[in-house]
């Protein structure tokens, strides 16, 4: 009698499978959702004191102005990793990708601009006559969360044209570029030019190192940390350091700055630029650590029961964000794209369907990570306005995700039947 033993998976194959899973858009979105739900549960449970105490615990060297709370470390430090990855993707698109051709890039870029302007106008309309500095949060509903939006798209839109995902990804990346610019210019207080000038030294050394093909983080990490610390000391939000560092990384393959990833059919080596190499290495850290940990400490708002919800939704800040995300985002994007495609040269190359764009416009209203950051910068962490802003962000993002996801799922199912 012959017996067969069950096949075993080799450790390296198991590890490869795990890495492929955690890099998927859907897994990143799921992890972000779990962190958000955990924060909300803790903030509204008997463990709320522990949660807020942990978030407010400070550590770090005072003489470097880095004695920050855990919440600030996650917002200023971990999100710099997220913006580093976004910066790498953005530079690749500008130098060698979809944003290289002005005609192709024009549609998502102008769409992203419309998706910034209209939500901001809606927020201002709600808060212009509100007391205090409520209108200062005008930029909160302008941001699109790349991780959440792409995750929802990956789950529901498998049968839709690949060009639609390209449009959404480009739209979200450009949207983050606008958000970065707003943070750097509008939400920078007490600018210290000397510290900012000092940051140029390690930044330049980092850029020279990567252009010579240096990939060893015993060299690059200290330069990156010093750049981040000096930008933080300058008064500019420290996440901008991540973008500046990313923009120094070569996005094309050169003799020195390249990474071999495979060989072709003839045995010749195939190389990736360092932007792709670093995005691959740090994309997992951003997905598994930076974004969910930030969400865990940023999304925990104490609702205060039914009375707290009623109070929040009576606040123009909450309503301005909610309508800005759910209504302003899709209307702004679609209006801008419609006006642009009236230009004959653009209309001839425009192949996307309007119903698909409506669904994507709703997904762009998922304004989570960067919106939470802008909310804290606008009103201060832990303030009543910031708590109401978080409620508006979470509610608006959920509604936008449900509307966009449902619509794209219906369109995808229809396309598969056809």
Of the candidates 403, 389, 375, which has an alpha carbon nearest to the alpha carbon of residue 321?
A: 389
Measured on CA atoms in the order 314, 132, 373, 54, is the torsion positive or negative? negative
Q: Is the dihedral of CA 100, 104, 110, 116 positive or negative?
A: negative
Q: Which residue has the tokens 């009576």?
A: 314
Q: How many CB atoms lie within 10 A of CB 104?
A: 17
Q: What pLDDT does residue 327 have?
A: 96
Q: How far apart are CA 130 and CA 318, in angstroms?
A: 12
Between residues 318 and 18, which one has the greater pLDDT?
A: 318
Confidence band, pLDDT 50/70/90 cuts, at residue 26: low
End-to-end CA distance of the chain: 51
Report the candidate in 379, 186, 232 with the shortest Cα–Cα distance to residue 301: 379
Parallel/antiparallel/unpaired status of strands 269-272 and 68-69: unpaired
Categorize the per-residue pLDDT at 14 as very low, low, confident or very high, splitting at 50, 70 and 90.
very low
pLDDT per residue as tens digits for the range 160-170: 887 788 788 78
**Residue 202: per-residue pLDDT:** 97
Which among 97, 77, 80 has a CA at the least distance from the CA of 89? 97
Tell me: the pLDDT tens digits for 34-76?
888 899 899 889 998 999 899 889 988 877 778 888 988 988 8
Tokens read off for 171: 């739209």
- pLDDT tens digit string along 381-398? 778 888 899 999 989 999
Average pLDDT rounded to a whole number, residues 89-95: 82
Helix (H, G, I), strand (E, B) or coil at 390: helix
Kind and range of the H or E element at 271? strand 269-272
What is the distance between the alpha carbons of residues 231 and 198, in angstroms, rounded to a whole number?
A: 9
Beta carbons of 184 and 232 less than 8 angstroms apart: no
- C-alpha span between 136 and 386 (Å, rounded): 11
- Residues above pLDDT 90, as percent of the chain: 31
Closest C-alpha to 357, from 171, 229, 188: 171
Q: What pLDDT, in 10s, does the model give residues 198-219?
A: 999 999 999 999 999 999 889 9
Give the helix, strand, coil percentages of the chain, each rounded to 5. 75, 5, 25
**pLDDT > 70: what percent of the chain?**
92
DSSP letter, residue 341: T
Question: What per-residue confidence (pLDDT) applies to 237?
Answer: 78
Give the model's pLDDT for residue 1.
Answer: 47
CB–CB of 214/239 below 8 Å?
Answer: no
Tokens of 92: 């690749």
Burial tier of 61 (Cβ tally within 10 Å: 0-12, 13-18, 19+): exposed
CA dist 263 and 241 (Å) reads 35
Whole-number mean pLDDT of the chain?
A: 84
Q: Which two tokens stand for residue 366?
A: 């998922």
Task: State the pLDDT at residue 23.
Answer: 58
Three-state SS at 272? strand
Q: What is the mean predicted confidence (pLDDT) over 362-371?
A: 87
Q: CA geometry: angle at 394 spanning 378 and 310, to 5°?
A: 90
Question: What whole-number distance in Å separates Cα of residue 99 and Cα of residue 352?
Answer: 17
Q: How confident is the model at residue 284 (pLDDT cuts 50, 70, 90)?
A: confident
| DSSP designation for 61 | -
Structure tokens at 255: 């003799």
Q: Looking at the predicted structure, is the pLDDT value of residue 22 above 80?
A: no
- CA–CA gap between residue 152 and residue 319 (Å, rounded): 24
State yes or no: pLDDT of 332 exceeds 90: yes
Q: Tell me the per-residue pLDDT of 270-279, one tens digit each, with 9 for 90 and over.
A: 888 999 889 8
Q: Record the tokens describing residue 254, joined without a space.
A: 């050169």
Query: Over the stretch 218-250, which tens digit does the pLDDT of each residue have?
Result: 999 999 999 999 998 887 878 889 989 999 999
Asked whether residue 140 carries a pLDDT value surpassing 80, the answer given is: yes
* 136 vs 403: CA distance, rounded Å: 28
pLDDT of 404: 92
């Amino acid at each position: 009698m012959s017996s067969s033993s069950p096949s075993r998976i080799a450790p390296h194959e198991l590890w490869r499978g795990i890495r492929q899973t955690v890099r998927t858009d859907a897994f990143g979105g799921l992890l972000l959702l779990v962190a958000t739900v955990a924060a909300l549960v803790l903030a509204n449970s008997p463990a709320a004191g522990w949660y807020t105490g942990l978030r407010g615990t400070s550590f770090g060297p005072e003489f470097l102005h880095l004695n920050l709370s855990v919440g600030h470390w996650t917002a200023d430090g971990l999100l710099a990793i997220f913006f580093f990855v976004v910066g790498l993707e953005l530079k690749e698109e500008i130098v060698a990708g979809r944003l290289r051709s002005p005609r192709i890039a024009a549609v998502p870029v102008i769409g992203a601009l419309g998706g910034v302007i209209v939500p901001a106008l809606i927020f201002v309309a709600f808060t212009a006559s509100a007391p205090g500095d409520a209108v200062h949060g005008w930029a909160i509903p302008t941001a699109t969360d790349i991780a959440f939006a792409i995750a929802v798209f990956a789950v529901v839109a498998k049968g839709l044209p690949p060009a639609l995902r390209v449009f959404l990804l480009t739209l979200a990346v450009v949207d983050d570029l606008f958000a970065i610019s707003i943070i750097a210019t509008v939400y920078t207080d007490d600018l210290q030019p000397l510290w900012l000038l000092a940051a140029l030294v390690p930044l330049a050394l980092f850029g020279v190192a990567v252009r010579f093909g240096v990939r060893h983080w015993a060299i690059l990490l200290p330069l990156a940390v010093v750049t981040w610390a000096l930008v933080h000391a300058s008064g500019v939000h420290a996440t901008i350091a991540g973008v500046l560092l990313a923009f120094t990384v070569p996005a094309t393959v050169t003799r020195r700055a390249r990474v071999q990833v495979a060989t072709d059919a003839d045995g010749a080596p195939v190389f990736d630029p360092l932007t792709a190499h670093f995005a691959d290495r740090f994309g997992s850290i951003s997905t598994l650590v930076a974004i969910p940990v930030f969400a865990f400490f940023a999304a925990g708002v104490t609702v205060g029961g039914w009375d707290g919800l009623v109070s929040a939704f009576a606040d123009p800040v909450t309503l301005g964000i909610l309508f800005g995300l759910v209504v302003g985002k899709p209307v702004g994007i679609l209006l801008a794209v419609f006006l642009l495609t009236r230009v004959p040269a653009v209309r001839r190359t425009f192949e996307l369907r309007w119903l698909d764009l409506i669904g994507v416009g709703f997904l762009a209203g998922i304004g989570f990570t960067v919106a939470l950051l802008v909310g804290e910068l606008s009103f201060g962490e832990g303030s009543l306005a910031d708590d109401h802003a978080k409620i508006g962000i979470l509610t608006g993002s959920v509604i936008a995700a449900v509307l966009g996801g449902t619509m794209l799922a219906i369109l995808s199912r229809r396309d598969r039947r056809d």
